[in-house]
């Protein structure tokens, strides 16, 4: 079908990007189909599962409910960009690996993006209850959430060691 | 070579303490998933790829009078359309019940049944084309209630041509011992009706398939199908049958999978349609389900209506169990033949039954077909049985844990239905949850509204007989070592997120001394890997693990022999550990493994070995159906739940679930814990929140085909889960290992039900335990209390009690 397209200029994982996309496309479609950034997942099509969570100007958003046009001139961060400032592996990713917090891993990119925003905003080590609240929009069907909670708390402690522990 | 994986010869025993088994490992494939690099099926993209969509029936039961695809075909960007006429050969995961077609041939049997599939240049065009397909239906009366369906006598309204009289899909009646006599003569008879609601898998990755043709399929071309399946071998077989292409010209690849839980254990319409459309167009074709389509494809937990009579002696011993079950099967058989057997056959442990009879009837109905979901067929009867036991404990004044101990079947035993059980750690599971929860001290003191409940269960570690009869091994693994110092492991097993690739790497690591990062596991590609039956019935650790151990041990012998020859010492003195071969009696002498591999290759030629595993065939009874449910080894579980019930609202707040699971031997500790936690969570969701139902008032449409409306527990809903590992090593398992992926779901649900009874004195015998249902039961009890018919529950403890 011929559809009017528009030029989207945005920054993705620190790199400026200009791409043509149909007006009705979501940010998730642009990321996955145009930019081949497949880390953000499509689990439910309608904002229920959180597997597509990315950050827009540092705020976690559901890329499947965000029109691509909404990202015009803004900064998008996906799971592929998470480790950029950490030598390729973010402390969250390392903690998830140590705790076996990813089983199938399909929900993990979205969870990582939500968790990173939580720790960054708090600026300190976080606790189980606040992690559960921050991640309530991200479904995981494998783990029973236990190891994910442990991994996020652990990573936040690595990033913000308690005074006297260094 | 006459090595038998069941009975490793003494020289196969490691000559040093385990260095990998039982540790916590980083999974071999997790980091790429967390970096967003891993390509799941929908992440694959091929040049010239088309996208396909399936047009689905809006009717629950209707004859297809005509399909006109001409307008759709004329739409620009449409490449091909297929209908049921292109798939006349029926299939079915169970060879005896091939009762479905890739697309409906002349009748649709439920809302969402596939009718036609379109391949177009993009999804939007395919969707637009679907809307241009004209289908004329003759709507038929639909059956949504299994008993009404079974009562049907009008052959013209038979749902599925495989249905016997009255839409019967399968009937099983088995009796062991004098049930009537043993129950009627019992000191106590507990009788109850239970209903287990249907639930679905809810894997976050939707089903997806991609098909690609190379060459001329009428001659020597090759069809490759990438699919998010958990049983690539069975998909391979059914593709060959339905598409009439020899299996050796089909390659099935399972890319990394985003969860399955039984929901991807058989072929679906999308794989056949993508393949056929790729063959017709010569272009790669991808088909991705929407979440709604996943709900309609279903194959989840069968709703079961169960009537149980159980006899007990005064001391709480079970004298007999009489079970009658009606299974609501939906429109197709799926695994239903097995489910019908499992609904009775898998109940006979962990308790000793003096006698047992079950009759199970599976009905066809005009709903999405039910199939296997984690704990296939046995989660429902376990729910009924464990509440029966709890009712008996109350009636007899016996502690519910003690009652279970008194009936414990024990190890090296035989069940009433003649299954031979090896190791059994059930007693230790009960001990662990009892101690961790503070059961003895806390239970008598908990106020009204607060309660503790216990339940136990068992599960199979694979089935002794494969789905299609054959005498070949049930699992096989090939391992190659090369001069770079690494191992490549080829296995047909499907890693669906449960960590089977890591399990294989741990075994190879243990045997060959390589760290996990030096081991490459290549799995679930029918061109590269030996046949494996796939990820179902919790078979992989035991079966594929045994095959892998055997192959790795053969290689270890070769490598150790090559080193021993050069050092002029006996082979038994050489150990392979931490990337080195070393002399056990002179630990200063060592050589890097890479070099040891070179020595062995120089002595033997290319270093490759295969291992295979077949099940013991002497562990079941000699009667029709006696093989179904027989397993090489059984796992055991105990759950103990603590709940708080609000008597004003009926809301059940599960605080903590303690769960102890006997997995024989935890090869990788955190992975096993993760399986126990994930299973327990899934049971919790079924207990309190989930319902997979269609709406008869609206023509059989799904009541909640989205993750918003089908309520799976979130981070905030899920209680604290305390997983404890119990290890009763089994002689049939690799290093003693048994299953951990399905067993720990079962007793999660009745433990919560029993805790609700302890809290507020009401029995909730139907799922889910919704606030309205619990509140109604509390109100009913209060009326009975007021009338003096029953004593006040926890009468001495008024805290939290609502004024009448």
Q: Which residues of A touch B202 (CB under 8 A)?
A: 139, 141
Question: What pLDDT was estimated at residue B721?
Answer: 98
- Pick the residue from chain A with its C-alpha nearest to B127: A1
Give the residue-averaged pLDDT of B639-655.
98
**B671 in contact with A at a CB cutoff of 8 Å?**
yes
The angle subtended at Cα B510 by Cα B464 and Cα B231, nearest 5°, is: 35
Asked whether residue B9 carries a pLDDT value surpassing 90, the answer given is no
| Tens-place pLDDT, residues B713-726 | 999 999 999 999 99
| Tens-place pLDDT, residues B658-691 | 999 999 999 999 999 999 999 999 999 999 999 9
Q: Which residues of A touch B128 (CB under 8 A)?
A: 1
**A65 in contact with B at a CB cutoff of 8 Å?**
no
The angle subtended at Cα B383 by Cα B166 and Cα B190, nearest 5°, is: 90
Same fold, B304-464+621-786 and B472-613: yes
Q: How far apart are the C-alpha atoms of B473 and B486, rounded to whole Å?
A: 27
Band (pLDDT 50/70/90 cuts) for residue B166 is confident
B179 backbone dihedrals φ, ψ, rounded to 5°: -65, -50
Cβ contact (<8 Å) for B706 and A1?
no
**B754 in contact with A at a CB cutoff of 8 Å?**
no
Cβ contact (<8 Å) for B258 and A99?
no
Question: What pLDDT was estimated at residue B17?
Answer: 85
B706 backbone dihedrals φ, ψ, rounded to 5°: -150, 165
Provide the chain A residues 16-55 that lie in CB contact (below 8 A) with chain B: 32, 36-46, 48-49, 51
Partner residue opposite B715 with nearest CB, options A32, A42, A136: A136
Question: What pLDDT was estimated at residue B659?
Answer: 98
Domain locations along chain B: 41-140+206-257+264-297, 304-464+621-786, 472-613
Cβ contact (<8 Å) for B716 and A136?
yes
Decide if B301 contacts B692 (C-beta within 8 A): yes
| Tens-place pLDDT, residues B227-236 | 999 999 999 9
Question: What pLDDT was estimated at residue B6?
Answer: 44
B167 CB-near residues (< 8 Å, 6+ apart): B143, B149, B150, B152, B158, B159, B160, B363, B364, B365
Cβ contact (<8 Å) for A105 and B291?
no
- Pick the residue from chain A with its C-alpha nearest to B23: A98
Q: Report the CATH architecture of B304-464+621-786.
A: 2-Layer Sandwich (3.30)
Q: Which residues of A touch B641 (CB under 8 A)?
A: none
Provide the chain A residues 117-156 that lie in CB contact (below 8 A) with chain B: 131-133, 135-149
| Tens-place pLDDT, residues B461-513 | 999 999 999 999 999 999 999 999 999 999 999 999 999 999 999 999 999 99
B225 backbone dihedrals φ, ψ, rounded to 5°: -125, 115
Cβ contact (<8 Å) for B34 and A105?
yes
CB atoms within 10 A of CB B280: 17
Asked: is B472-613 a CATH 3.30.365.10 domain? The reply is yes
Q: Which residues of B touch A79 (CB under 8 A)?
A: 34-36
Measure B544 CA to nearest chain A CA, in Å.
19
Decide if B285 contacts B49 (C-beta within 8 A): yes
- Pick the residue from chain B with its C-alpha nearest to A136: B715
Asked whether residue A45 carries a pLDDT value surpassing 90, the answer given is no
Q: Report the CATH architecture of B41-140+206-257+264-297.
A: Alpha-Beta Complex (3.90)
Band (pLDDT 50/70/90 cuts) for residue B13 is low
Q: Which residues of B touch A83 (CB under 8 A)?
A: 35
Percent of chain B with pLDDT over 70: 97
Domains identified in chain A and CATH numbers: 5-81 (3.10.20.30), 85-159 (1.10.150.120)
Partner residue opposite B670 with nearest CB, options A100, A133, A144: A100
Q: How far apart are the C-alpha atoms of B203 and B229, rounded to whole Å?
A: 12
Interface pTM, i.e. ipTM = 0.97
| Tens-place pLDDT, residues A53-64 | 999 999 999 999
Asked whether residue B4 carries a pLDDT value surpassing 90, the answer given is no
Record the tokens describing residue B43, joined without a space. 């992440």
Band (pLDDT 50/70/90 cuts) for residue A3 is low
Three-state secondary structure call for residue B339: helix
Mean per-residue pLDDT over chain A, rounded: 95
Q: How far apart are the C-alpha atoms of B103 and B242, rounded to whole Å?
A: 11
Partner residue opposite A142 with nearest CB, options B24, B124, B678: B678
| Tens-place pLDDT, residues B302-328 | 999 999 999 999 999 999 999 999 999
- Strand A75-77 relative to strand A5-12: parallel, antiparallel, unpaired? parallel
Asked whether residue B11 carries a pLDDT value surpassing 70, the answer given is no
Asked whether residue B535 carries a pLDDT value surpassing 60, the answer given is yes
């Amino acid at each position: 079908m011929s559809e009017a397209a528009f030029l989207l200029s945005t920054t993705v994982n620190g790199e400026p990007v200009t791409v043509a996309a149909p007006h009705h496309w979501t940010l998730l479609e642009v990321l996955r189909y145009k930019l081949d950034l497949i880390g953000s997942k499509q689990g439910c099509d309608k904002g229920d599962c959180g597997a597509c969570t990315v950050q827009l100007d540092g705020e976690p958003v559901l890329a499947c409910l965000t029109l691509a046009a909404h990202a015009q001139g803004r900064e998008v961060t996906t799971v592929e960009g998470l480790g950029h400032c950490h030598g390729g592996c973010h402390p969250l990713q390392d903690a998830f690996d140590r705790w076996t917090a990813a089983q199938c891993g399909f929900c993990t990119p979205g969870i990582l993006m939500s968790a990173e925003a939580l720790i960054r905003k708090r600026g300190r080590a976080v606790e189980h209850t606040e992690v559960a609240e921050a991640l309530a929009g991200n479904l995981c069907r494998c783990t029973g959430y236990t190891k994910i909670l442990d991994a996020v708390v652990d990573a936040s402690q690595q990033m913000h060691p308690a005074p006297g522990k260094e | 070579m006459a090595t038998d994986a069941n009975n490793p010869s003494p020289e196969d025993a490691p000559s040093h303490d385990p260095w990998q088994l039982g540790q916590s490992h980083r999974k071999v494939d997790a980091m790429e998933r967390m970096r967003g690099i891993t390509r799941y099926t929908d992440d694959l993209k091929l040049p010239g790829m088309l996208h396909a969509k399936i047009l689905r029936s809006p009717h629950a039961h209707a004859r297809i009078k005509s399909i006109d695809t001409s307008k759709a075909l004329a739409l620009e960007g449409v490449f091909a359309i297929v209908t049921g006429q292109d798939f006349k050969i029926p299939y079915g995961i169970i060879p005896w019940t091939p009762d479905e077609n890739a697309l409906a041939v002349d009748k649709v049997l439920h809302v969402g049944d596939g009718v036609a599939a379109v391949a177009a240049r993009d999804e939007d065009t395919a969707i637009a084309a679907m809307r241009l397909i004209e289908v004329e239906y003759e709507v038929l009366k639909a059956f949504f209630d299994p008993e009404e369906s079974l009562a049907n006598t009008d052959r013209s309204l038979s749902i599925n041509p495989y249905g016997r009289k009255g839409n019967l899909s399968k009937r099983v009646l088995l009796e062991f011992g004098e049930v009537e006599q043993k129950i009627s003569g019992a000191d106590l008879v507990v009788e109850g009706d239970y209903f287990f609601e249907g639930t679905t898998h809810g894997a976050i990755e939707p089903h997806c398939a991609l098909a690609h043709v190379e060459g001329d399929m009428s001659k020597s071309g090759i069809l490759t199908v990438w699919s998010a399946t958990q049983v690539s071998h069975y998909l391979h077989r059914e593709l060959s049958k339905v598409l009439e292409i020899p299996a050796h010209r089909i390659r099935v690849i399972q890319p990394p999978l985003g969860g399955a839980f039984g929901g991807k254990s058989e072929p679906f319409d999308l794989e056949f349609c993508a393949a056929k459309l790729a063959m017709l167009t010569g272009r790669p074709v991808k088909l991705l389900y929407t979440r709604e389509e996943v709900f309609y494809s279903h194959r989840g937990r069968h709703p079961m209506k169960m009537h149980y009579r159980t006899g007990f002696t005064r001391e709480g011993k079970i004298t007999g169990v009489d079970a009658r079950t009606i299974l609501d099967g939906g429109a197709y058989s799926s695994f239903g033949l097995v489910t019908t057997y499992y609904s009775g056959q898998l109940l006979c442990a962990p308790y000793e039954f003096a006698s047992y009879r079950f009759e199970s009837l599976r009905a066809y109905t005009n709903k999405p077909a039910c199939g296997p979901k984690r704990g296939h067929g046995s989660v429902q009867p376990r729910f009924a049985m464990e509440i029966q036991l709890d009712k008996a404990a109350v009636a007899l004044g016996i502690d519910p844990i003690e009652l279970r101990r008194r009936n414990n079947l024990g190890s090296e035993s035989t069940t009433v239905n003649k299954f031979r059980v090896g190791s059994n750690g059930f007693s230790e599971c009960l001990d662990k949850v009892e101690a961790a929860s503070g059961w003895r001290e806390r239970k008598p003191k908990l106020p009204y509204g607060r309660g503790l409940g216990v339940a136990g269960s068992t599960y199979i570690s694979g089935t002794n007989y494969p789905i299609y009869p054959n005498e070949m091994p049930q699992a096989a693994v090939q391992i190659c070592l090369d001069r770079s110092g690494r191992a490549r492991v080829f296995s047909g097993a499907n890693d669906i997120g449960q960590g089977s690739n890591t399990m294989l790497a741990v075994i190879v690591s243990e045997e060959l001394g390589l760290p996990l990062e030096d081991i490459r596991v290549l799995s679930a590609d029918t061109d590269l890997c030996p046949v494996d039956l796939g990820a179902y019935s919790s078979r992989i650790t035991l079966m594929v693990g045994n095959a892998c151990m055997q192959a790795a041990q053969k290689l270890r012998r070769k490598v150790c022999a090559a080193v021993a020859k050069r050092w002029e010492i006996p082979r038994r003195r050489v150990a392979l550990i931490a990337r080195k071969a070393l002399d056990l009696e002179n630990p200063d002498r060592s050589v890097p493994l890479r070099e040891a591999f070179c020595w062995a290759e120089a002595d033997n030629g290319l270093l490759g070995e295969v291992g295979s595993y077949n099940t013991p065939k002497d562990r079941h009874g000699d009667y029709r159906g006696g093989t179904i449910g027989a397993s090489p080894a059984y796992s055991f579980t105990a759950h103990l739940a603590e709940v708080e019930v609000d008597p004003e609202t009926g809301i059940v707040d599960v605080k903590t679930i303690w769960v102890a699971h006997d997995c024989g031997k935890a090869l990788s500790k955190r992975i096993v814990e993760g399986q126990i936690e994930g299973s327990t969570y899934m049971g919790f969701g079924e207990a309190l929140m989930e319902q997979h139902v269609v709406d008869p008032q609206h023509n059989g449409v799904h009541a909640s085909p989205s993750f918003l409306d089908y309520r799976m527990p979130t981070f905030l809903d899920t209680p604290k889960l305390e997983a404890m590992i119990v290890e009763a090593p089994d002689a049939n398992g690799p290093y003693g290992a048994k299953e951990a992926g399905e067993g720990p779901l079962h007793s999660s649900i009745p433990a919560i039900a029993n805790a609700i009874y302890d809290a507020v004195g009401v029995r909730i015998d139907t799922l889910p335990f919704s606030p309205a249902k619990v509140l109604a039961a509390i109100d009913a009890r209060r009326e009975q209390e007021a009338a003096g018919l029953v004593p006040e529950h926890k009468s001495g403890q008024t805290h939290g009690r609502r004024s009448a």
